[in-house]
Structure 1
Amino acid sequence: MDDNELADLVQKNLKGRRYLVVVDDFWSRDVWDSIRRIFPNYNNGSRILLTTRENEVAMYANTCSPHEMKLLSLENGWKLLCDKVFGPKHDHPPALEEIGKEIVEKCQGLPLTISVIAGHLSKVARTLEGWKDVARTLSENIASNPNKCLGVLGLSYYHLPNRLKPCFLSMSSFPEDFQVDTRRLIQLWIAEGFIRTSVGSRKSLE
């Protein structure tokens, strides 16, 4: 089926029903405009839940204040790791808790990173030495799961305007956890020719 036929099918299946539809990872207003007509409004309490990284898109879809997600706390990150590695009962060896929380802390509250590392931990021996080895090679373990991580990074990259893509890629020249000085970074971008002023502009490159 083409897009119009699919849209028609969805609309017919929702007709007369009370529904909750979750649409994940919106990037633009245009996408919302193209699908909103699919969801009939019968004033029966039906809801559409959208997720987006763009606050502007969230406000456009609904004028009420969007719920802004925060990075996971250490406690919630540890809970997520335990869910993925040990199951809902969190039946973990006490000796692994300290190193496990250290691993979670290195993930800096990012659920995707914690999930990727948890997937790796579920395959290694549940020993202190095994988990310490994962903590030491955290970035290598993340890089070895390109389908998940690069897919998410790819969305961020391709959504950028062309003029900003080289700036994004240039960040890979810094070591992991390196504190980048903003002024130095701007000067590097200028030296590389990533930043240009428009013709007739009086603004400095900085």
Structure 2
Amino acid sequence: MRKLTSGPTDVILITGMPGSGKTTLAYKVYNDKSVSSHFDLRAWCTVDQEHDEKKLLGTIFNQVSDSNSKLSENLDVADKLRRQLYGKRFLIVLDDVWVTTTWDELTRPFPEVKKGSRIIVTTREQEVTLHGKVYIDPLNLRLLKPEESWELLEKRAFGNESCPDELLDVGKVIAHNCKGLPLVVDLIAGVIAGREKKKTVWLEVQTNLIPLF
């Protein structure tokens, strides 16, 4: 958050395995009041593997221009986006970028980053990470430690209450089998939170979780 609102950093790279929380982190920071109030314009663009450059640029343009209108096929979206961003302090998130060419295509219309504007890029691909090192070393999200996985699972499954002693051992095994991925821990915790708090039920969850990894 400090890098978003101060200092010379233009692009912030968030990397990590699928399920490590890249999008979750970017979204939480993007919507933080101290961050959102710092920028004149903001836009969030989910890229994924299959994408249409013009459509994605249109998505960004609609957000920074506060418009929901459908853009004309003949419209030069890149030029309109460049004009809209020019002279403004903007924050744009490119979520789940798979290849460097996509990065280049989507950022080409952006004016030279000045006035404290920022771009956040999330990616799972090493190639994209290396491409971005001309800007800054990436923020590489580590996996959770076993005790951290259990802490998260217990909090999601029981709220402010503690896990009963009879479920403690199997619960920690379930947390360990989530392989340190916070989104997997959160998903499994949601499953067991809606089921009976019995050891036989949790053992069933434990058995069914192993083949996923």
Which TM bucket (shorter chain)? 0.5 to 0.7
Matching residue within 94, 101, 108 for 2:164: 94
Unaligned regions of 5+ residues in structure 2, if any? 1-53, 67-83
Partner in structure 2 of residue 110 of structure 1:
181
Between the aligned partners of 1:41 and 1:69, the Cα distance in structure 2 is 28
Partner in structure 1 of residue 140 of structure 2:
68
CA gap of 1:86–1:36, structure 2 versus 1, over 3 A, is farther
Between the aligned partners of 1:111 and 1:38, the Cα distance in structure 2 is 35
**Greater share of residues in helix:** 1
Unaligned regions of 5+ residues in structure 1, if any? 143-175, 177-206
Q: Which amino acid is the alignment partner of residue 100 of structure 2?
A: R
1:63-90 Cα offsets, whole Å, 9 max, x none, are 2221222221112212332343234x3x
Give how far 1:62 is off.
4.1
**Greater mean deviation of Cα atoms: 78-87 or 15-24:** 15-24
Partner in structure 2 of residue 29 of structure 1:
100
Partner in structure 1 of residue 120 of structure 2:
49
- The answer to whether the Cα contact below 8 Å between 2:154 and 2:163 also exists between their aligned partners in 1 is no
CA gap of 1:76–1:17, structure 2 versus 1, over 3 A, is farther
Give how far 1:128 is off.
2.7
Aligned with 1:49: secondary structure? strand
Of the two, which has the highest radius of gyration? 1
What is the 5 A alignment of 1:132-143?
132-139=203-210
RMSD (Å), alpha carbons: 2.8
Q: Which amino acid is the alignment partner of residue 94 of structure 2?
A: V
Between the aligned partners of 2:113 and 2:99, the Cα distance in structure 1 is 26
Q: How many corresponding residue pairs? A: 139
CA gap of 1:132–1:84, structure 2 versus 1, over 3 A, is same
Aligned with 1:116: secondary structure? helix
Give how far 1:11 is off.
4.9
- The answer to whether the Cα contact below 8 Å between 2:177 and 2:210 also exists between their aligned partners in 1 is no
Q: Which amino acid is the alignment partner of residue 9 of structure 1?
A: N
Give how far 1:97 is off.
3.0
Tell me whether 1:81 sits opposite 2:153 in the alignment: yes
Matching residue within 32, 37, 61 for 1:8: 61
**Greater share of residues in strand:** 2
- The answer to whether the Cα contact below 8 Å between 1:11 and 1:38 also exists between their aligned partners in 2 is no
What is the 5 A alignment of 1:186-201?
none
- The answer to whether the Cα contact below 8 Å between 1:32 and 1:61 also exists between their aligned partners in 2 is no
- The answer to whether the Cα contact below 8 Å between 2:89 and 2:114 also exists between their aligned partners in 1 is no
- The answer to whether the Cα contact below 8 Å between 2:91 and 2:118 also exists between their aligned partners in 1 is yes
CA gap of 1:108–1:5, structure 2 versus 1, over 3 A, is closer
Aligned with 1:31: secondary structure? helix
Give how far 1:37 is off.
3.3
Normalised to the residue count of structure 2, the TM-score between the two structures is 0.54
Identical columns (%): 34
Aligned with 1:26: secondary structure? coil
CA gap of 1:86–1:46, structure 2 versus 1, over 3 A, is farther
